Homo-oligomer: A and B are copies of this chain.
Amino acid sequence: MKSLKLYGKRDIRYEEATKPAIEKQDDVIVKVKAVGICGSDISRYMKLGPYEEGMIFGHEFSGVVEKVGRAVVQLKPGDRVTGCPALYCGKCESCKKSEYARCEKLTVIGSTYPGAFAEYVKLPAENFVKIPADVDFDAASMVEPSSVVIHGLYKTMMHPGAEVAIMGSGNIGLLAVQWANIFGAKKIYAIDIDNEKLAIAKALGASATINPKDGPVHEQLMTLTEGRGVDVAVEAAGSIVTSAQVFSLCKKGGSVVFLGIPYGDVNVERFYFEKIVRNELKVYGSWNAISAPFPGKEWETSLQFMASGQL
Protein backbone atom coordinates (compact mmCIF):
# COMPACT_ATOMS: atom_id res chain seq x y z
CA MET A 1 0.00 0.00 0.00
CA LYS A 2 0.97 3.68 -0.39
CA SER A 3 2.45 5.39 2.70
CA LEU A 4 4.53 8.29 3.97
CA LYS A 5 7.51 7.25 6.09
CA LEU A 6 9.77 9.35 8.30
CA TYR A 7 13.47 8.68 7.81
CA GLY A 8 15.04 11.58 9.67
CA LYS A 9 14.92 15.30 10.23
CA ARG A 10 12.90 16.84 7.37
CA ASP A 11 13.12 13.52 5.53
CA ILE A 12 9.70 12.04 4.71
CA ARG A 13 9.41 9.60 1.83
CA TYR A 14 6.42 8.42 -0.15
CA GLU A 15 6.92 4.63 -0.31
CA GLU A 16 5.21 1.29 -0.59
CA ALA A 17 4.44 -0.47 2.72
CA THR A 18 3.10 -3.88 3.56
CA LYS A 19 -0.66 -3.80 4.11
CA PRO A 20 -1.36 -4.74 7.75
CA ALA A 21 -2.87 -8.16 8.53
CA ILE A 22 -5.02 -9.37 11.42
CA GLU A 23 -2.69 -11.08 13.90
CA LYS A 24 -4.28 -10.73 17.33
CA GLN A 25 -7.92 -11.54 17.91
CA ASP A 26 -8.76 -7.95 18.88
CA ASP A 27 -6.98 -6.42 15.87
CA VAL A 28 -8.97 -4.11 13.62
CA ILE A 29 -7.82 -2.86 10.21
CA VAL A 30 -9.24 0.42 8.96
CA LYS A 31 -9.11 1.95 5.50
CA VAL A 32 -8.01 5.53 6.05
CA LYS A 33 -10.33 8.26 4.71
CA ALA A 34 -8.87 11.41 6.29
CA VAL A 35 -5.66 12.25 8.15
CA GLY A 36 -4.74 15.34 10.16
CA ILE A 37 -1.33 16.91 10.60
CA CYS A 38 -0.60 17.49 14.27
CA GLY A 39 1.64 20.13 15.83
CA SER A 40 3.56 17.20 17.29
CA ASP A 41 3.98 15.76 13.77
CA ILE A 42 5.59 19.01 12.69
CA SER A 43 7.83 19.05 15.76
CA ARG A 44 8.90 15.46 15.08
CA TYR A 45 9.49 16.27 11.40
CA MET A 46 11.60 19.33 12.24
CA LYS A 47 13.41 18.26 15.40
CA LEU A 48 12.77 14.49 15.67
CA GLY A 49 11.30 13.11 18.88
CA PRO A 50 11.13 9.39 19.64
CA TYR A 51 10.70 7.54 16.34
CA GLU A 52 11.96 4.49 14.49
CA GLU A 53 13.68 5.10 11.15
CA GLY A 54 11.37 4.47 8.23
CA MET A 55 8.22 4.26 10.33
CA ILE A 56 4.92 5.25 8.69
CA PHE A 57 4.10 8.74 9.97
CA GLY A 58 0.87 10.40 11.23
CA HIS A 59 -1.60 9.64 14.02
CA GLU A 60 -4.82 11.68 13.58
CA PHE A 61 -7.19 9.84 11.29
CA SER A 62 -10.62 8.48 10.48
CA GLY A 63 -11.77 5.79 8.13
CA VAL A 64 -13.88 2.70 7.49
CA VAL A 65 -13.43 -0.69 9.15
CA GLU A 66 -11.97 -3.17 6.66
CA LYS A 67 -11.43 -6.30 8.73
CA VAL A 68 -11.73 -7.37 12.38
CA GLY A 69 -10.13 -10.07 14.55
CA ARG A 70 -12.39 -12.88 15.73
CA ALA A 71 -12.84 -11.53 19.28
CA VAL A 72 -14.17 -8.21 18.04
CA VAL A 73 -17.90 -7.81 18.48
CA GLN A 74 -18.43 -4.06 18.77
CA LEU A 75 -17.13 -3.29 15.25
CA LYS A 76 -17.76 -4.79 11.82
CA PRO A 77 -16.52 -4.05 8.27
CA GLY A 78 -18.12 -0.89 6.92
CA ASP A 79 -18.33 0.94 10.25
CA ARG A 80 -17.20 4.57 10.10
CA VAL A 81 -14.66 5.23 12.86
CA THR A 82 -12.08 7.58 14.28
CA GLY A 83 -8.91 6.12 15.76
CA CYS A 84 -7.23 6.84 19.08
CA PRO A 85 -3.52 6.55 18.27
CA ALA A 86 -2.33 5.93 21.87
CA LEU A 87 -1.03 2.56 23.06
CA TYR A 88 -0.52 1.95 26.80
CA CYS A 89 1.46 -0.78 28.52
CA GLY A 90 -1.26 -2.06 30.88
CA LYS A 91 1.30 -2.99 33.54
CA CYS A 92 2.70 0.17 35.14
CA GLU A 93 1.28 1.79 38.28
CA SER A 94 -0.61 4.35 36.21
CA CYS A 95 -2.19 1.68 34.02
CA LYS A 96 -3.14 -0.29 37.15
CA LYS A 97 -5.08 2.83 38.16
CA SER A 98 -6.53 3.18 34.62
CA GLU A 99 -4.73 6.53 34.31
CA TYR A 100 -3.63 5.74 30.78
CA ALA A 101 -2.40 9.25 29.91
CA ARG A 102 0.19 8.71 32.63
CA CYS A 103 1.38 5.30 31.38
CA GLU A 104 5.17 4.95 31.84
CA LYS A 105 5.48 3.48 28.33
CA LEU A 106 2.78 5.39 26.50
CA THR A 107 3.36 5.44 22.78
CA VAL A 108 1.50 6.67 19.76
CA ILE A 109 1.27 5.25 16.25
CA GLY A 110 3.40 7.19 13.80
CA SER A 111 6.48 7.06 16.03
CA THR A 112 7.31 3.46 16.99
CA TYR A 113 4.22 1.79 15.47
CA PRO A 114 3.04 2.22 11.87
CA GLY A 115 1.02 5.41 11.54
CA ALA A 116 -1.90 6.87 9.62
CA PHE A 117 -0.31 8.41 6.50
CA ALA A 118 -1.11 5.14 4.73
CA GLU A 119 -3.97 3.39 3.05
CA TYR A 120 -4.62 1.12 6.02
CA VAL A 121 -4.00 1.31 9.77
CA LYS A 122 -4.14 -1.48 12.33
CA LEU A 123 -4.97 -0.92 16.02
CA PRO A 124 -6.71 -2.83 18.83
CA ALA A 125 -10.51 -2.69 18.61
CA GLU A 126 -10.76 -0.58 21.80
CA ASN A 127 -8.84 2.22 20.04
CA PHE A 128 -11.70 2.90 17.62
CA VAL A 129 -14.79 4.98 18.27
CA LYS A 130 -17.75 4.92 15.84
CA ILE A 131 -18.63 8.28 14.32
CA PRO A 132 -22.22 9.54 14.03
CA ALA A 133 -23.78 9.89 10.57
CA ASP A 134 -23.64 13.68 10.65
CA VAL A 135 -19.88 13.86 11.28
CA ASP A 136 -17.78 13.61 8.13
CA PHE A 137 -14.34 11.98 7.85
CA ASP A 138 -12.45 15.29 7.83
CA ALA A 139 -14.03 16.39 11.09
CA ALA A 140 -13.57 12.91 12.57
CA SER A 141 -9.83 13.02 11.93
CA MET A 142 -9.78 16.01 14.30
CA VAL A 143 -11.20 14.08 17.26
CA GLU A 144 -7.70 13.38 18.62
CA PRO A 145 -6.58 17.02 18.94
CA SER A 146 -10.03 17.98 20.21
CA SER A 147 -9.68 15.27 22.86
CA VAL A 148 -6.24 16.62 23.81
CA VAL A 149 -7.92 19.94 24.59
CA ILE A 150 -10.86 18.66 26.58
CA HIS A 151 -8.60 16.25 28.51
CA GLY A 152 -6.83 19.36 29.81
CA LEU A 153 -9.89 21.55 30.32
CA TYR A 154 -11.61 18.89 32.45
CA LYS A 155 -8.81 19.46 35.01
CA THR A 156 -9.58 23.16 35.42
CA MET A 157 -12.33 25.20 37.01
CA MET A 158 -13.80 26.09 33.61
CA HIS A 159 -17.55 26.41 34.15
CA PRO A 160 -20.40 28.51 32.77
CA GLY A 161 -19.53 32.13 33.46
CA ALA A 162 -15.75 31.67 33.44
CA GLU A 163 -13.35 34.16 31.88
CA VAL A 164 -10.70 32.38 29.84
CA ALA A 165 -7.44 33.33 28.11
CA ILE A 166 -5.89 31.08 25.49
CA MET A 167 -2.20 31.39 24.55
CA GLY A 168 -1.80 30.44 20.91
CA SER A 169 -4.30 30.30 18.05
CA GLY A 170 -2.88 27.31 16.23
CA ASN A 171 -4.84 24.10 15.83
CA ILE A 172 -4.94 23.35 19.58
CA GLY A 173 -5.58 26.95 20.56
CA LEU A 174 -8.49 27.31 18.14
CA LEU A 175 -10.01 24.10 19.43
CA ALA A 176 -9.60 25.53 22.95
CA VAL A 177 -11.56 28.63 21.90
CA GLN A 178 -14.41 26.42 20.71
CA TRP A 179 -14.31 24.24 23.82
CA ALA A 180 -14.28 27.29 26.11
CA ASN A 181 -17.52 28.32 24.42
CA ILE A 182 -18.97 24.86 24.96
CA PHE A 183 -18.00 25.03 28.66
CA GLY A 184 -20.04 28.25 28.85
CA ALA A 185 -17.20 30.77 29.14
CA LYS A 186 -18.34 34.36 29.52
CA LYS A 187 -15.32 35.91 27.88
CA ILE A 188 -12.62 34.24 25.78
CA TYR A 189 -9.36 36.08 25.06
CA ALA A 190 -7.33 34.60 22.19
CA ILE A 191 -3.62 35.44 22.09
CA ASP A 192 -1.31 35.03 19.08
CA ILE A 193 1.32 36.97 17.16
CA ASP A 194 -0.42 36.18 13.86
CA ASN A 195 -3.37 38.47 13.14
CA GLU A 196 -4.82 36.05 10.59
CA LYS A 197 -5.00 33.33 13.20
CA LEU A 198 -6.55 35.81 15.61
CA ALA A 199 -9.22 36.61 13.02
CA ILE A 200 -10.08 32.91 12.86
CA ALA A 201 -10.17 32.77 16.68
CA LYS A 202 -12.62 35.67 16.62
CA ALA A 203 -14.77 33.93 14.02
CA LEU A 204 -14.79 30.77 16.15
CA GLY A 205 -16.06 32.60 19.20
CA ALA A 206 -13.26 34.53 20.92
CA SER A 207 -14.63 37.67 22.62
CA ALA A 208 -11.45 39.65 22.03
CA THR A 209 -7.95 39.04 20.71
CA ILE A 210 -4.50 40.06 21.89
CA ASN A 211 -1.38 40.33 19.74
CA PRO A 212 1.79 40.36 21.89
CA LYS A 213 3.37 42.62 19.30
CA ASP A 214 1.02 45.36 20.54
CA GLY A 215 2.45 45.29 24.09
CA PRO A 216 2.92 42.99 27.04
CA VAL A 217 0.19 40.34 27.02
CA HIS A 218 -0.75 40.68 30.68
CA GLU A 219 -1.08 44.46 30.34
CA GLN A 220 -3.39 44.15 27.35
CA LEU A 221 -5.41 41.49 29.15
CA MET A 222 -5.70 43.54 32.33
CA THR A 223 -7.00 46.45 30.29
CA LEU A 224 -9.59 44.23 28.61
CA THR A 225 -10.67 42.68 31.91
CA GLU A 226 -10.59 45.92 33.92
CA GLY A 227 -7.76 44.59 36.04
CA ARG A 228 -9.39 41.30 36.90
CA GLY A 229 -7.51 38.75 34.81
CA VAL A 230 -9.10 35.41 33.96
CA ASP A 231 -10.31 32.35 35.83
CA VAL A 232 -8.53 29.93 33.51
CA ALA A 233 -5.44 30.46 31.36
CA VAL A 234 -4.71 27.83 28.72
CA GLU A 235 -1.19 27.36 27.34
CA ALA A 236 -1.70 26.13 23.79
CA ALA A 237 1.21 27.79 22.02
CA GLY A 238 3.92 25.46 23.21
CA SER A 239 6.69 28.05 23.19
CA ILE A 240 9.27 28.75 25.88
CA VAL A 241 8.13 32.37 26.03
CA THR A 242 4.40 31.82 26.40
CA SER A 243 4.97 29.01 28.91
CA ALA A 244 6.24 31.65 31.36
CA GLN A 245 3.90 34.49 30.38
CA VAL A 246 0.81 32.38 30.93
CA PHE A 247 1.24 32.69 34.71
CA SER A 248 0.50 36.43 34.52
CA LEU A 249 -3.01 36.11 33.08
CA CYS A 250 -5.05 34.72 35.97
CA LYS A 251 -7.03 36.19 38.79
CA LYS A 252 -5.82 35.31 42.24
CA GLY A 253 -6.74 31.67 42.84
CA GLY A 254 -7.14 31.04 39.10
CA SER A 255 -5.95 28.01 37.20
CA VAL A 256 -3.44 27.49 34.41
CA VAL A 257 -3.37 24.39 32.22
CA PHE A 258 -0.54 23.31 29.94
CA LEU A 259 -1.77 21.42 26.89
CA GLY A 260 1.70 20.86 25.50
CA ILE A 261 5.42 21.31 26.05
CA PRO A 262 7.84 23.74 24.42
CA TYR A 263 10.71 21.27 24.02
CA GLY A 264 13.18 23.73 25.56
CA ASP A 265 14.24 25.41 28.81
CA VAL A 266 11.62 27.78 30.19
CA ASN A 267 13.12 30.79 31.92
CA VAL A 268 10.39 31.98 34.25
CA GLU A 269 11.32 35.54 35.15
CA ARG A 270 10.79 36.59 38.73
CA PHE A 271 7.75 38.66 37.72
CA TYR A 272 6.03 35.56 36.29
CA PHE A 273 7.19 33.08 38.90
CA GLU A 274 5.90 35.20 41.77
CA LYS A 275 2.44 35.12 40.17
CA ILE A 276 2.24 31.36 40.83
CA VAL A 277 2.94 31.83 44.50
CA ARG A 278 1.52 35.24 45.43
CA ASN A 279 -1.66 34.68 43.42
CA GLU A 280 -2.05 31.13 44.77
CA LEU A 281 -2.47 29.73 41.27
CA LYS A 282 -3.35 26.13 40.51
CA VAL A 283 -1.20 24.89 37.63
CA TYR A 284 -2.10 21.67 35.84
CA GLY A 285 -0.01 19.70 33.41
CA SER A 286 -2.08 17.80 30.86
CA TRP A 287 -0.78 15.03 28.68
CA ASN A 288 -2.36 13.21 25.76
CA ALA A 289 -6.09 12.78 25.34
CA ILE A 290 -7.05 9.55 27.02
CA SER A 291 -8.79 8.40 30.17
CA ALA A 292 -10.87 5.45 31.37
CA PRO A 293 -12.78 3.52 30.20
CA PHE A 294 -10.29 3.72 27.34
CA PRO A 295 -10.06 5.82 25.22
CA GLY A 296 -12.15 7.99 27.54
CA LYS A 297 -15.10 10.35 27.49
CA GLU A 298 -12.90 12.93 25.71
CA TRP A 299 -13.59 11.02 22.47
CA GLU A 300 -17.34 10.58 22.76
CA THR A 301 -17.74 14.16 23.91
CA SER A 302 -15.72 15.50 20.98
CA LEU A 303 -17.99 13.58 18.63
CA GLN A 304 -21.07 14.84 20.48
CA PHE A 305 -20.16 18.46 19.75
CA MET A 306 -18.97 17.77 16.20
CA ALA A 307 -22.40 16.29 15.55
CA SER A 308 -24.09 19.34 17.07
CA GLY A 309 -21.97 21.65 14.92
CA GLN A 310 -20.34 23.39 17.89
CA LEU A 311 -16.89 22.03 16.95
Interface residues of A (CB under 8 A from B): 93-94, 96-99, 101-102, 104, 150, 154-155, 159-161, 179, 182-184, 186, 228, 243, 251-253, 258, 260-270, 273-287, 292-294, 297, 300-301, 304-305
* Apart from A160-B179, A184-B184, A184-B301: 12 A-B pairs, beta carbons within 8 A: A93-B293, A160-B304, A184-B305, A265-B269, A267-B267, A267-B268, A280-B285, A280-B286, A281-B284, A282-B282, A283-B284, A283-B285
A251: chain B residues within 8 A (beta carbon) = 93
Q: Is B183's CB under 8 angstroms from A160's CB?
A: yes
A182: chain B residues within 8 A (beta carbon) = 160, 184
The chain B residue sitting closest to A243, CB to CB, is: B273
Q: How far is the CA of A253 from the CA of B305 in the complex (A)?
A: 25
The answer to whether A97 and B160 touch (CB under 8 A), given A267-B268, A278-B287, A301-B186, is no
Question: A47: shortest Cβ distance to chain B, in Å?
Answer: 12
Question: A244: shortest Cβ distance to chain B, in Å?
Answer: 8
Question: A247: shortest Cβ distance to chain B, in Å?
Answer: 9
Question: A139: shortest Cβ distance to chain B, in Å?
Answer: 17
Select the residue from A98, A161, A275, A300 with max chain B CB neighbours within 10 A: A161
Q: Is B252's CB under 8 angstroms from A186's CB?
A: no
Q: Is B98's CB under 8 angstroms from A96's CB?
A: yes
The answer, among B277, B285, B300, B301, for a CB contact under 8 Å with A261, is: B277
Q: How far is the CA of A101 from the CA of B280 in the complex (A)?
A: 9
Q: How far is the CA of A297 from the CA of B96 in the complex (A)?
A: 13
Q: Is A276's CB under 8 angstroms from B293's CB?
A: no
Q: Is A276's CB under 8 angstroms from B265's CB?
A: no
Q: Is A270's CB under 8 angstroms from B277's CB?
A: no
